[in-house]
Structure 1
Amino acid sequence: MIPKQAKGKRPDYLDNTDNDKLLAIIMALAGEVSVLRERLDTIEKLVVAKGIISSEDIENYQPDAQLNEEREQWRADYLARILRAVQNS
């Protein structure tokens, strides 16, 4: 899925444009974390309730090298989206 990009000039909320950029980063992160936390909580509760895995299985899971690489790529893409306000200035 291609991330949506806002059209037009970014609105100014604070006296300093750097502070506006920092605020945009923080709010983007807050939104991402909020959605992620809620979805992850739902999934964990469902799989534990259905007896598919236990809470201990989740806590003790160790990903393999390929999954670690995939996660590193996701993190790089994620940070690029979060830092877009700074990088595009």
Structure 2
Amino acid sequence: MRRHARGKRPQFYEAQGLDQAMSMIMVLASEFSALRDRLDTVERVATENGLGAAIEAYVPPQDVLEERETRRQAFLDRLYYLALKDAAEAAEADTAERFKTTIEDIAKG
């Protein structure tokens, strides 16, 4: 199970959720930048070696698809880190009594 840093995070924006959104944007920006550099390298090497058609025709085997899915899930874990952390903290702070009260409030309409 992934561990989270304890304690209050600094909040930079007043609007609820904006800090989380900015964190997600920064993860996406760093991922995109690294991906773009890597893709540029692959395209240059492929062009120099006449591999364009082979790349277009490639069909990945199951083990490659599974590896990609594992990488994708790790990326999503990083992207949604703060939202998942907040949800985990909320779940830890929740009590059976609070749940019961909430259900009763909903039932009252």
- Find the aligned partners of 1:10 and 1:64 in 2 and give their Cα distance: 43
Alignment match, 1:46? 45
Q: 2:93 — aligned with what? A: none
Taking the aligned partners of 1:36 and 1:46, their CA distance within structure 2 comes to 15
Higher normalized helix content (fraction of residues)? 2
Taking a change above 3 Å as real, the CA distance of residues 8 and 29 of structure 1, as seen in their structure-2 partners, is farther
The residue matched to 1:88 in structure 2 has which SS?
A: helix
Structure 1 residues 19-74: Cα deviation after superposition (integer angstroms, max 9, x where no partner): 1101110111111111111122112202321x1x5222222211011111111111
Where 2:64 maps in the other structure, the secondary structure is helix
Q: Which residue of 2 is the match for residue 30 of structure 1?
A: 29
Within-5 A mapping of 1:9-24: 10-24=9-23
Structure 1 position 79, deviation (Å): 0.7
Where do 4+ consecutive residues of structure 1 move more than 6 Å? 5-8
Q: Aligned partners of 1:8 and 1:41: how far apart in 2?
A: 41
- Tell me the TM-score normalised to structure 1 length: 0.75
Aligned CA distance change for structure 1 residues 6 and 35 (closer, same or farther; 3 Å) = farther
Structure showing greater Rg: 2
Does structure 1 retain, via aligned residues, the 8 Å contact 2:46–2:52? no
TM-score computed with the length of structure 2 as normaliser: 0.63
Supply the AA of the counterpart residue of 2:39: L
Relative distance call for 1:58 and 1:25 in structure 2 (3 A) is same
